[in-house]
Chains A and B, each alone.
Chain A
Amino acid sequence: MKRLLLLLIPALISFQGFAAEFAVGDLVIKHPWARPTPPVADAGAAYFIVDNSRGADDRLLSAEADISQRVELHTHLMEGDVMMMRKVDTIEMPAGQTVALQPGGLHIMFIGLQAPLVEGDRFPLTLNFEKAGAVIVEVAIGQQPNAQ
């Protein structure tokens, strides 16, 4: 029983912290989160899941936030064990699919952070989709949610 409770605690915490969904058009953006950053860090990253199971082909064109000088869309290409981070112009959201922005892959990159990202804080992030339009999501700063 005690063991079961121990297992449940992280699930409950992550549920409270990250049970966030944002809808725009046919898209559902789930669990936006960002890792806390060290005080000296210039850059940070945010992640979320886009559920496009109901919609038509769409694409993420850009993202905006006032926490940094620049906000870019990035991906990681992996060759062997070498991670190659690259800026991308858009992120495709194919019809009927779920696209995950997650560590080691696609992410929103914040360059020139105004202040460190502090665990427990939240910040608004505007996502501009080609068809679905713009949506403001709330990014929770913390550890990776279990859902991902």
Chain B
Amino acid sequence: MLNKQLLIIVLGVVSVVAGVWLGRYFLPQTETAEPEINGIYISPSRKVADFELTNQSGQPFNQAALKERWSLLFFGYTFCPDVCPTTLAQLNQFHSRLAAEGLDEDVTVWMISVDPARDTAERLKEYTAFFNPKFGGATGDREEIDKLAQQFGVYYKIHDPEPGADYYLVDHSSAVIVINPDTRLQAVLTGTSSTDRLVEDFQAIRQHYDATQS
């Protein structure tokens, strides 16, 4: 009698598992439709090519630093008075919103300085920590910065000082690059005007990633 009940239970479990498994293969995957975001969703995600920079603590910043977590990369420079502080302040709001829901543990924000002549690791540390002590910063040789920037389509240009000026300006992409826990490029967020939208887009990206993991 007991064995018969057990058999029914086992058969029940097996059929549910089989049903779910078959369903995954044969039913339309509406719940894993690609997220519609403010920017470009990269599908399939793209491998990040090697690069070697130095982080805010003087340690190597390379593929290993991006492993098994979500990384948001922003390219800028500390002399930047407007766009970089605005973006970092917004990324801080974004990160705090995730933190409030306990969703921030595997999310790191990085500012990559494209201006190594003025930005040292130490300087970046103070700069990024001002916005959020959990944020990281990295920079390095121009060649290595280019390796990172170019593969994401991030453009920047360092200008010569204007006549009579003792400083120079840098044009740079304002995009936020999203790298998934497999160290692959997953999205390029552009024109992120509101923190709400940023949180929404990132969560949609993460959920889609989670849903498509086998």
Contact = CB atoms under 8 A, between A and B. Distances in A.
A31 interface: no
A9 interface: no
> What bracket does the count of chain A residues touching chain B fall in?
20 to 34
Interface string B131-159: 10000000000000000000000011000
Contacts of B83: 76, 83, 85, 103-104
Nearest to B82: A45
A45 B83 CA distance: 10
A84 B171 contact: yes
Contacts of A81: 173-175, 190-191
Given A38-B127, A110-B81, A103 B86 contact: yes
A41 interface: yes
A69 B154 CA distance: 32
Contacts of B16: none
B80 interface: yes
Interface string B159-203: 000100101010111110000000000000011000000000000
The 3 closest A-B pairs by CB, nearest first: A38-B130, A43-B81, A103-B86
15 contacts: A38-B78, A40-B78, A42-B167, A43-B80, A43-B167, A80-B155, A80-B173, A81-B174, A85-B169, A87-B162, A87-B165, A103-B82, A104-B82, A107-B82, A110-B81
Given A35-B85, A40-B127, A81-B174, 11 more contacts: A35-B89, A38-B126, A40-B126, A41-B85, A43-B80, A76-B82, A82-B171, A83-B172, A85-B169, A107-B82, A109-B81
